[in-house]
Structure 1
């Protein structure tokens, strides 16, 4: 069961670039959860997948210190959902439940992949831990930074439009 979770039900076996496939499936699934089940369900799913990820990766890497198998993509799922939470929260707070327009998930996906691949600052520090927690933590940091970047990009796009009115 832990392996099935770690590879996110087989998504991590897709080639090439299993992390990108994991992120793509995650953003589509997260967007669907927000759309049809609502923001609180996305929060619940994110917390659940994060906890399950720490558990599953910890069990799978117990005897393999320093290993970060490419097929383990539950960390991408958790991080991608964190990236989606920020724009989803902004819409939910305005009473627009289940209405996350397409540029937001696309931006969250692109920013998440950027932070996950480039690994700046805390993302890289977590990645260099060399333990099971680091496997999860680098993607959680990347998700947080991607969510913030998505909100900032939306503000940068919309603020001039608002000011021109």
Structure 2
């Protein structure tokens, strides 16, 4: 069960780019959560995935030399969902149909999250260097938050809300 959780249903066992595939797998699940319960459900699921992922990663890596094995992708799920939260919140608070999830937003959330997760700028790299289960999860949470901020700015520009 722990391996099922940490690999997000064994997606992390894909031998090439498991983190990218974990992020890709998170997109339709995040969309489904948004459709089923809007922003509140996606937010609650994100918090639960973070808590469950931290615990499962701690159990999975207990006694192992590598604190962040590539097959652990539950952290990518949490980070990707954080990057999607502004889209979900915007639609939810605007009262838009839950099935409306504009492609530029989720594509941007995916690309930005993956860039921050791979490049590990500033605080993302700091969290990655913690070499602990919390660090495994936290670097993706921070990468997701950074992507989310840029998504909000991009939406503001695209919708003329920032006067740009």
TM value normalised by structure 1:
0.91
Q: CA-atom RMSD, angstroms?
A: 1.9
Counterpart of 2:85 in structure 1 is: 85
Q: What aligned pairs does 1:1-165 form with structure 2 within 5 A after superposition?
A: 1-64=1-64, 66-98=66-98, 99-159=100-160
Question: CA offset at residue 91 of structure 1?
Answer: 1.9
Question: CA offset at residue 67 of structure 1?
Answer: 2.2
TM value normalised by structure 2:
0.92
Where do 5+ consecutive residues of structure 2 fail to align? none
Distance 2:75 2:131 in 1: 15
* Contact 2:85 2:148 (8 Å CA) reproduced: yes
Distance 1:74 1:163 in 2: 38
Where do 5+ consecutive residues of structure 1 fail to align? none
Distance 1:149 1:136 in 2: 20
Length, aligned pairs only: 163
Distance 1:152 1:118 in 2: 21
